Amino acid sequence: MSIGVNCSHCFPRHRPNSPTLVSSSSSLSSIIVCNMDTSAGPSLFPLHRCKTLHLVRHAQGIHNVDGDKNYKAYMSPEYFDAHITPLGWQQVDNLRKHVHECGLAKRIDLVITSPLLRTLQTAVGVFGGDGYTDRMDVVPLMVANAGNSGRAAISSLNCPPIVAVELCREHLGVHPCDKRRNISDYQFLFPAVDFSLIESDEDTCWKADVRETTEEVAARGQKFLNWLWTRKEKEIAIVTHSGFLFHTLSALGNDCHPLVKKEICKHFANCELRSMVIVDRSMIGFDPSTTNYPGKIPSGLDLPSDVVDEKAD
C-alpha cells in the first residue's frame, strides 16, 4: 500500500518535470554543475532560472534522544509530534546567530516549514524576529512556552514570511513522532505562521499501519521542488526533516562528480544548514530576469560583426 504521494488533501498540485539541484554557498550570477566526466566543461544557466535554497533539518527533538540509541523508540506514542529539547533550543540559538552574522538572515525572501511542532519551533526560532512584548501591535510568530519550550514569545517583526507546507513533512506513517496535531492547535501556538496552504485541519496523511516507501518519499520531494517554481521568491529557507531531505536529495546530483553527489545527499545533523541552488532546466517557472538588459539604444539592429559577416555571405 502507498500513502502520501496520492494524498490530494495533503499536497498541492505539481508539475511533472524535475529540477536540477547543485551545491552552492551563495547566490551566483552563473551556476556551475560538475559532470562525472571531469574533463568536460562547466554548465551555465540563466540566473532567473535558478533559486537558492537554504535547507535546514530541525533541531534535536525529544524523539531523537532515545531514537538515536534505539530505533524502536520512534514507535513510542510518547513522542507524538515531538517538540525540541533544551539542547535543541541551544542549537536553534547557535544557528540563528550564524545566519545573522553571515548576512543570510537579510537575504531570505521566504521560510517554508513542515507543519510539525519541532520544525515550526526551529523555523521561528532561527528566522523569526526578536523578542516579543504584549505592547507590540502585531501577533507573535510563537506564543510563550509553545510546546513546553519554556521560551519567551517570538516576534513576527522584521523577518521573512513563514509558510507551512505539507509536502516537506517527514516520512509518513507508523511513527507517532511524525504525526501532526490539528492545524487549529498550531494556529494558537504560532499565530503569525501562514497555514493557508494546508487544506485539512486533521492529519489525513499519516496512517498508523502504513508507512511510505523511500521511493514515495523521494517522489514527494520532487513534487515539492517542482512546486517551489510556483513561488516568486528567489532565496528560500526550508525547515524540514532528516528522512525527507535524505531521500529527496539522494535522487539528485547523479550528473555530478561523486564527491559533489556525496556533499548533496549525505545525512543532515540536527539544526544543520546547507545552501543549494535549484535550476529550472525544463521551463517550469515563469520568473523574468530582473538583471538582464536588452541593449539597442537607440533601438535598431545592433548585430555583432561576425553575424553581419555571415549575413553578407
CB 196 within 8 A of CB 95: no
- Among residues 14, 54, 58, 241, the one annotated as catalytic is 58
How far is 140 from 154, CA to CA, in rounded Å? 6
For 53, which DSSP code? E
Q: Which residues contact 63 (CB under 8 A, 6 or more apart)?
A: 73, 74, 76, 79, 82, 177
The set of cell numbers assigned to 53 is 535554497
98 is catalytic: no
Burial of 283 (0-12, 13-18, 19+ CB in 10 A): exposed
Using alpha carbons, list the distances in angstroms from residue 259 to 163, 249, 262, 266, 308. 33, 14, 5, 10, 45
How far is 249 from 274, CA to CA, in rounded Å? 12
170 is catalytic: yes
- Among residues 54, 63, 83, 170, the one annotated as catalytic is 170
The set of cell numbers assigned to 230 is 510556483
Q: Which residues contact 95 (CB under 8 A, 6 or more apart)?
A: 56, 59, 126, 271, 273
In the chain, what is the straight-line distance between the N-terminal and C-terminal CA atoms, in Å?
66
Active site members = 58, 170
